Structure 1
């Protein structure tokens, strides 16, 4: 039976949404239903979150032609891909390792998404994930993007992949964050159980307060508070900001906290709470993905950016 951990229940109580969280618990299972199996098989992208060998949390992505994500049985997801060698999570997936990872698959064209969490095991170039949680998610704040194009060995083959690291955001990276309408956040409980989730809004919904401090609104959601619950007991977090047009990825790792101050919250349209993220490590990878997407149609649920 699905349950919430102490951090999740504490946030639910503080938000006054324990009843709603109880209803939402029905959306957490341990097996992949048939309709979700079909959904996963159609996706060319899955986002992964977890801790690197030093314990730092990162979010990243893996891509492939539709069909590269398979469900051989209801308790297992198999992915015919691995993170890039330059990826911040590449080292945790060595043969013989059993890291706990969180994943989220999204379909921008239909605004569908689902989260799947468990333990990974690698066999050759294939990743198997033994599932602990399968979570249905609502489509709010997910921007619609169409016409996915996969370019294996195409234009990207002539582009050298570059990696830029650092401990704070450059001016160009700050612009990337300010202009983003979507990012993914990875967290973990105090027991190390990882989770990856989506955050979306109109461009500008993520504020860059300094080269090492970001802030975004926490909008009305499913009342589970899986991300904020993890942050309460373990502030480590990672962010992935994808560039939907170029295939570059911006990975950030650091710590995050929830802001409950009513005056601060009231200044941000639609915010129920705020999250502040302190950047401690940056990795930007160009030519990281062969996928290309159309310009977005913004979700009608997006509040105005503050």
Structure 2
């Protein structure tokens, strides 16, 4: 089956990359984890998570634990402890049959690898996912900070609403994560029709905030357009921003719009893109993340 669905192919074509991406995708988007990815996930203290919430809306959160909390059972299955889930709206996301997107990122070495799949077992505190798509990403736009596990000392507080504190976190960010999903993700019709979570980075302030709208340029990447392909078919998305100084996180439910920009003179067939997000709801968890970061 194709590594890409119709939304991804539509964006690839309009972006001016034609069919050249197809052969690359078939080689690099695998149905199993290579050995280096198996070892990579096992050494991380956290992994980003994309899920569908109870209303079928994409949400972004985290899995945390001492390195080794996640491991590869074999090249087709990842397993982890289920008690390190961080984020609101994620309850029930580990039910058998649920689609997940995972992103392992080690920012201080600028490594990141994706693993999308479906939950095939949950019990005795352990969760197992069958991998349907596995691929690496380039090191572009990753701010090199190191994450270490640090137990929480207080009780997390959840604050609702798109308030001034939430806007400050977004306006100062150099990184965020975005969870998206194919509109038929729950049906498990094809490996490409799943849930995905990806990284976005830039200079601090690269996300522009005007009222309840966020704008960010779509920087050049691997040309797969997994995120934009999902948004082409399903504009609902979940954003995650981390406040690296306070062990806090901000989750946004948004509706996305892709604005196509004029092509530059040096690449007249390849227009640029601006992503615009309308904030639907916001949840800020203060002191809820058992991790500390150092640049």
TM-score (norm 1): 0.86
- What's the counterpart of residue 298 of structure 1? none
Structure 1 residue 206 corresponds to structure 2 residue 190: no
Cα distance in structure 2, aligned partners of 1:77 and 1:36: 11
Q: After superposition, what is the alpha-carbon deviation per residue over 1:65-91, rounded to whole angstroms, capped at 9, x for unaligned? A: 100110011110111134548621123
Matched with 2:30 is 29
**Preserved CA contact (<8 Å) 1:185 1:197:** yes
CA RMSD of aligned residues (A): 1.8
Q: State whether residues 62 and 87 of structure 2, in contact with CA within 8 Å, keep that contact through their aligned partners in structure 1.
A: no
Give secondary structure in 1 for the equivalent of 2:206.
coil
- Which ranges of 4 or more aligned residues in structure 1 deviate by more than 6 Å? none
In the TM superposition, 1:76-95 aligns within 5 A as 76-82=77-83, 84=85, 87-94=88-95
1:151 aligns with 2:134: no
Instruction: Describe the superposition over 1:250-296 as per-residue Cα deviations: whole angstroms up to 9, x where unpaired.
Output: 00112112110439xxxxxxx9311011111211112222111113x
Q: How many residues align?
A: 278
- Residue equivalent to 1:101: 100
Task: State how far apart, in whole Å, the 2-side matches of 1:83 and 1:207 are.
Answer: 32
Distance 1:282 1:124, change over 3 A: farther
Which runs of no fewer than 5 residues in structure 2 stay unpaired? 186-193, 264-270
Structure with the bigger percentage of strand: 2
Quickly say closer, same or farther: Cα 1:42–1:185, change in 2 above 3 A: same
- Structure 1: 5+ residue stretches without partners: 264-270, 296-306
Q: Cα deviation per residue 1:36-55 (whole Å; 9 max; x = unaligned)? A: 11111111110111111111
Q: Distance in 2 between matches of 1:112 and 1:288?
A: 25
Deviation at 1:2, TM superposition (A): 4.5
CA distance in 2, matches of 1:86, 1:21: 34
| Whole-Å separation in 1 of the counterparts to 2:139 and 2:214 | 24
The aligned residue for residue 59 of structure 1 is 60
TM-score, structure 2 normalization: 0.89
Aligned CA distance change for structure 1 residues 7 and 33 (closer, same or farther; 3 Å): same
Change (3 A) 1:29 1:108: same
Aligned-partner SS, 1:18:
coil
